[in-house]
Chain A
Amino acid sequence: DTAVSQTPKYLVTQMGNDKSIKCEQNLGHDTMYWYKQDSKKFLKIMFSYNNKELIINETVPNRFSPKSPDKAHLNLHINSLELGDSAVYFCASSQVRTSYEQYFGPGTRLTVT
């Protein structure tokens, strides 16, 4: 069983479009995250979210919004896509304050043309 899954694995779209990336974890974790990894492999946290608190990295444009229909899912919605949004996006989860160990999904490679 896959612990953290993301769909789609690849996403190619044009500038200006709106797209979503889905993430699901079956670990029963209380916190989920979204990261962006650029072409230089720099991994930047975008959001962390549990059922009580959303923490947004202040450098993330408000075109990006996390949506959590339930505790096991945290989807990433992106409006008005730009060329600079091209990157690999990773979802992760953890059980905060007991483990801190994060489990990562396989990533979604987004290409904006």
Chain B
Amino acid sequence: SQQGEEDPQALSIQEGENATMNCSYKTSINNLQWYRQNSGRGLVHLILIRSNEREKHSGRLRVTLDTSKKSSSLLITASRAADTASYFCATDRTGNQFYFGTGTSLTVIP
């Protein structure tokens, strides 16, 4: 299977703490993306990291990619209640076929 697998499945933290989610995949990729899904909504793109990049930042988000281990991590710093959502990684090999996992459900407690 080419799908990504997120870990942990669920994460609960206090507001202000950092949240780290991991993604593992099995095939070579062109890029890896992270998405957020609020309950009952569609997915929203957060950040993309290309296969030749190792780390990327966007606001309170930090993504790392280790292609040798076929893994990525998403760090959300100084979490807020509004960060409560499911987070998915998506791997892309060809530019038009994206493979998602089951996501990490993050709960940020005010």
Contact = CB atoms under 8 A, between A and B. Distances in A.
B91 to A, nearest CB: 11
Chain B interface size range: 20 to 34
B101 A31 contact: no
A94 B105 CA distance: 25
B107 to A, nearest CB: 14
Contacts of A106: 41-42
Contact of A4 (B42, B86, B97): B42
Secondary structure dominating the interface of B: strand
Nearest to B103: A41
Contacts of B90: 102
B20 interface: no
A100 B44 contact: no
B31 A100 contact: yes
21 contacts: A35-B100, A42-B102, A43-B43, A44-B100, A45-B99, A45-B100, A48-B96, A50-B96, A55-B96, A90-B42, A90-B43, A92-B42, A100-B31, A100-B92, A100-B95, A102-B33, A103-B45, A104-B35, A106-B42, A107-B41, A107-B42
Interface of A: 4, 31, 33, 35, 40-45, 48, 50, 53, 55, 57, 90, 92, 96-97, 100-107
